[in-house]
Structure 1
């Protein structure tokens, strides 16, 4: 466990959407900062992920409806801490980066010096190796982010899967997408609500196992399609 948590015990829950991540879970859960509770939202795993997560001390909730957004929403409903983080369970993101995002949420840039606290903190992925983020996935992300910047007037450069916000505020946004469009709808609704959205760099590592979303060109196309549909539905 990591000592520097950036928050008092019980103040932070970490939602880990999970689909067949047994190979990655031991590393991911071992990297959680002290006082951060893991909520593994299992989305139909067949490799024993849910059982393993329980053995490793995580809270496990079943997300019966398939889809990334469905898993995140199930984890959010199960969360009880005032601050909620979201982080992929495939070892592509290091949970030790979370306290830095939490501090931006609670204190603002520079420990509260200027800018004030954020309402939503997004982790901008910075690949540590050339193969950590495939070219087709980077291209798909760039297309969606560019559209979001134009449509929602948000100054972001990534729609990455690591983010931090207050649980009550997230529930108040009433995000409805249960597929790959969830992150974009969240940002769009947050922007429309006037949230202070802050972005900070996080390390992006080669994931463990095969990606269900952006590891293939087909998965990237599905994600871009779902996110583009979100933009078309915005008022």
Structure 2
């Protein structure tokens, strides 16, 4: 029996003829010098510059990936990998394939996921564009740490390693550059152990521009982080709007509020009431996004998810919505009685609108709660064995 492969080195490739040879030779040198049983996989994404011939001449394994995209190429290459561990990096000679030992050593020690940190290891002059170095990477890495509580300083380092077992747990789905963010987020959500290794970034050896598009791919990363964090995208803004709208509305229902020479009255009350409804819509989208993501395998099921169906159920929603409806109808009758007392004549808007606006709001709010709870209970049928 042949000895099992320990390490698979995977390189995504799209027209990398200028630098592919040196990357493969460095990877081969690493395997030989460190006595590692390994393989080199070139995940070709439709090269037309002869990259495949270079890989063939150097005895690297070529995997043809038809679906376009950075993520698609890597997913295809990793799927074909036979190694217990996998290390991936671009084939543009910006990372040194002869310096992979810290990654492999960390993986051997039991870590699930190892990622390089270019800001700790050093960035060669001209290796990273100004916007990426001082805006894109720091901001997106900060948001990733904030949203997911991940202690990773460089979210977008392309040199990273992981065990094949850990990779399968990640269940990665994205096809573009956001694949890099998804890998880190899914590692955290699946409670995989993550370690950073200082890594030097060199100026790549290509004469053509890189495939990376600063604004388009930056937006894809940001969009992914937001969509995978419904708490920050929907729940926190929703709660903020509801609390702020409620506080302002209560003050204005009691009496107008005067701040210096500015008087806030019934017109402001109308807007503050609307803030509560909009905030509730944010909460609804939070719940629905969470359900969709979990049921489609985009997010792992958690205890918090199960509690969602325990406390947000049809009975609770019908009772809560019914209470708001009764309050709204009662206030409406009270407002009608005031109008009746004037023999259905003119009313003082500043007085009556403090009754009518809350009446209309509570009726709308009650109906929204009832409809949401009905729909939510349908989604939760398979989560409720009783």
Aligned to 2:137: 141
**What's the RMSD between the two structures over aligned residues?**
1.5
Which of 73, 81, 84 is the matching residue for 1:82?
A: 84
Is residue 17 of structure 2 the alignment partner of residue 22 of structure 1? Answer: yes
Q: 1:229 deviation in Å? A: 1.6
Summarize deviations over 1:21-70 as a string: whole Å, max 9, x none.
Answer: 11101111111122331100011111111121111110001111111000
Q: Would you say the 8 A contact 1:213–1:223 is kept in 2?
A: no
3-state SS, counterpart of residue 49 of structure 2: coil
Task: Please name the residue that 2:73 is paired with.
Answer: 71
Counterpart in 1 of 2:222?
Answer: 228
Could you report, residue by residue, the CA deviation over 1:194-216 in whole angstroms, capped at 9, with x for unpaired residues? 111110111111102134344xx
Asked whether the equivalents of residues 7 and 86 of structure 2 are also in contact (C-alpha less than 8 Å), the reply is: yes
Question: How big is each residue's C-alpha offset from its partner over 1:84-123, in whole Å with a ceiling of 9 and x where there is no partner?
Answer: 110110000001121211101112xxxxxxxxx3110001
Q: Which has the higher contact order (CA 8 A, sep 6+)?
A: 1
After TM superposition, give the deviation of residue 127 of structure 1 in Å.
Answer: 4.0
**Matched residue SS, 1:164:** strand
Residue of structure 1 aligned with 2:115, choices 111, 122, 128 = 122
Other structure's SS at 1:31 match: helix
Distance 1:122 1:154 in 2: 12
CA contact (8 A) 2:43 2:65 kept: yes
Q: Indicate the residue corresponding to 2:97 in structure 1.
A: 95
Measured against aligned partners, the alpha-carbon deviations of 1:125-161 in whole angstroms (never above 9, x if no partner) come to 2445211111122221112111100011111111201
Q: Tell me, yes or no, if the aligned pair for 1:84 and 1:164 is still in contact at 8 Å.
A: yes
1:152–1:213 Cα change, 3 Å: farther
TM superposition score normalised by structure 1: 0.87
Secondary structure of 1:199's match? strand
Displacement after TM superposition at 1:9 (Å): 7.0
1:39 corresponds to: 41
TM-superposed deviation, 1:124: 1.1
More helix by share: 2
- The SS at the match of 1:38 is strand
How many residue pairs were aligned?
Answer: 215
Where in structure 1 are there 5+ consecutive unaligned residues?
1-7, 108-116
- Of 187, 195, 210, the residue aligned with 1:212 is 210
Q: Distance in 1 between matches of 2:70 and 2:132?
A: 16
| Alignment check: 8 A CA contact 1:127 1:133 kept | no
| 2:100 partner SS | helix
Stretches of 4+ aligned residues off by more than 6 angstroms: none
Tell me how far apart the structure 2 counterparts of residues 26 and 192 of structure 1 sit (CA, whole Å). Answer: 37
Question: 1:220 offset after TM fit, Å?
Answer: 1.4
What is the aligned counterpart of 2:166 among 165, 169, 186?
Answer: 169
| Stretch moving more, 180-189 or 137-146 | 137-146
SS in 1 for 2:199: strand
Show structure 2 runs of 5+ residues with no match.
32-36, 229-289, 291-386
- 2:360 is matched with which residue? none
